[in-house]
Structure 1
Amino acid sequence: MPEALNAALALDGLVWVLATTILAGVVYGFAGFGSALIFMPLATIWLEPAFAIAAFSLSAIVSLFTVVPRAWGVAEKSATFTLIGAAFLGAPFGIYLLRVLDVDWVRIAVATTVLVTLAALMAGWRYATRPGVATRIGVGAATGVLGGLTGLMGPIVILFNLGAGSRAEVMRANTMVFLTTISILVLPQMAFQGLLSLEALWLGVVMMPAYGIGTRIGQALFDPDREVMYRRVAYGIIGLAGVMGLPIWQ
């Protein structure tokens, strides 16, 4: 067995990290967002932020086979890939900040982003203007910077897509395709800046079945007629994760 895999399996809190992965997958499967909002604040209780980002990004490959096929036929591809391209270009700056900032500051940034996003969602905040290409590029770039630093690629894009004027089903599909794709594309950028370890990659491989099981369960639970209930459940879990991820508890 490779030494890096042994190290990943010997991590303190591995059981809790896998449980968090399943929970994040379930919420992502039925709500269409929220996986990183749940995983990152909780996983960084046991893992260094860069380690957690890398492992979770690799585990997101599972979504290519579980949630993306259904979303692909509904998503607005041109608009979504504009966001992906801009986020890809913005991510290196966020990764640089992840590399140079103190770990506790990164954990605070993760938890704060989660809680602010939750407050905006619950308050019904929306971007109210029909977006053009320039707006999508700006939103994508800002998402890349925030995601590179915190591993949270969703907050800005979720709020943006909610107010972009698309049907709920299309918004959900756009978000799923974006989050899955950009999570995978950030991995070579982390490797280029020296933040992608073999142990993190092996942990991502170990997490894949857990994440796949979670997303499948979430998809099986999804019923369009219960969308409001799903959002409320997701909000409650995200809020608890954000509070628990604050460094004051560690």
Structure 2
Amino acid sequence: MLATVFPGLSPIDLSVLGFATLLGGLVRGFTGFGFAMVFMPLASLVIGPVAALGLIFCIDLPFALPLAARSARNAEWREVLPLLIAATLALPVGISLLIWLDRETMRWILSGVVLGAVALMSSGWRYHGQPGIPLSLGVGVLSGLFNGMASMGGMPLAVFWLGAQRNDRHRTRANLQTFFGLSTVISGGILWWNGILTTRAVLMALPLFAIYGAGLWVGTRGFRVASEVTFRRMAYLLIFASALVSLPLWDGIIGR
């Protein structure tokens, strides 16, 4: 089925795409974020950043909305809403950058930004105090830019909420799940307007639903038994590995 929907891709390319979907679902279920941070760098290797962006939306939408509905009552709305507004306003700018930049440049940017974010989160840095409106709006703008460029709007939010001293893993996960559910609906319309969300993207997503759902299921159950330390370490490790593997630096070695 994958070979039919993705003509021209080799068995290795299809394996990379399936593995990226499974690993992304595992991370998303475990942490509440990170699907795009895992999927986008790896999928861009085989189908390019623009096609991968539309595919991310189609794969995640049926799962993001129910997860957001369950998490909304535990989310901290005074933080979620300012971030969502700022991210929505910045999203078209990120999409314009995605379309304008060439494929290899985008791959370097994606991998570099992800590696930098993981380094910051794993360094032990913590934000102390209650975030004000200016800080929330700034993080929201970064989220919108990264969402438009690579559907990685959760990355600045993960740094923001995982780095917050007062937030435990349950509050962090609820905030992220709620934000993604709302932002997915909004970004879908903007992606469609820009010609990125197409019927072909929907067809490409269909054979990947089961793979993503399986990863999501395993990750969600892993979250229930994981400790706070394990939760953070696993999230950082998986995201770091996917970004490292997808660096254009290795193209010459693997003959791409």
Identical-residue share of aligned pairs (%) = 30
Question: Where does residue 143 of structure 1 map in the other structure?
Answer: 143
Question: Where does residue 90 of structure 2 map in the other structure?
Answer: 90
Q: How far 1:107 moved relative to its partner?
A: 0.7
Question: Where does residue 8 of structure 1 map in the other structure?
Answer: 5
- Number of residue pairs the alignment of both structures matches: 247
Retained in 2: the 8 A contact 1:66–1:215? no
Retained in 2: the 8 A contact 1:17–1:43? yes
When the two structures are superposed, what TM-score results if normalisation uses the length of structure 2?
0.86
Look up the equivalent residue of 2:189 and give its one-letter code. P
- Compare 9-18 and 100-109 and name the one that shifted more: 9-18
Q: How far 1:140 moved relative to its partner?
A: 0.7
Q: How far 1:96 moved relative to its partner?
A: 0.3
When the two structures are superposed, what TM-score results if normalisation uses the length of structure 1?
0.88
Retained in 1: the 8 A contact 2:68–2:180? no
Retained in 1: the 8 A contact 2:26–2:216? yes
Retained in 2: the 8 A contact 1:34–1:154? yes
Question: Where does residue 207 of structure 1 map in the other structure?
Answer: 208
SS at match of 2:47: coil
Retained in 1: the 8 A contact 2:27–2:235? yes
Residues 198 and 248 (structure 1 numbering): CA distance in 2 closer, same or farther, change over 3 Å? farther
Q: What are the within-5 Å matches in structure 2 for residues 13-92 of structure 1?
A: 13-64=13-64, 67-92=67-92
Q: How far 1:163 moved relative to its partner?
A: 3.9
Deviation digits for residues 198-217 of structure 1 (CA, Å, limit 9, x no counterpart): 32222233322322221111
Tell me: higher relative CO, structure 1 or 2? Use CA pairs within 8 A at least 6 residues apart: 1
Retained in 1: the 8 A contact 2:24–2:212? yes
Residues 185 and 212 (structure 1 numbering): CA distance in 2 closer, same or farther, change over 3 Å? farther
- Compare 22-31 and 88-97 and name the one that shifted more: 22-31
How much is the aligned-residue C-alpha RMSD, in angstroms? 2.3
Q: How far 1:185 moved relative to its partner?
A: 2.4
Retained in 1: the 8 A contact 2:121–2:163? no
Question: Where does residue 254 of structure 2 map in the other structure?
Answer: none
Consecutive unaligned residues of structure 1, counting only runs of 5 or more, are none
Question: Where does residue 180 of structure 2 map in the other structure?
Answer: 179
Residues 40 and 168 (structure 1 numbering): CA distance in 2 closer, same or farther, change over 3 Å? same
SS at match of 1:89: helix
Residues 171 and 135 (structure 1 numbering): CA distance in 2 closer, same or farther, change over 3 Å? same
Residues 163 and 222 (structure 1 numbering): CA distance in 2 closer, same or farther, change over 3 Å? closer
Retained in 2: the 8 A contact 1:129–1:163? no
Retained in 2: the 8 A contact 1:42–1:241? yes
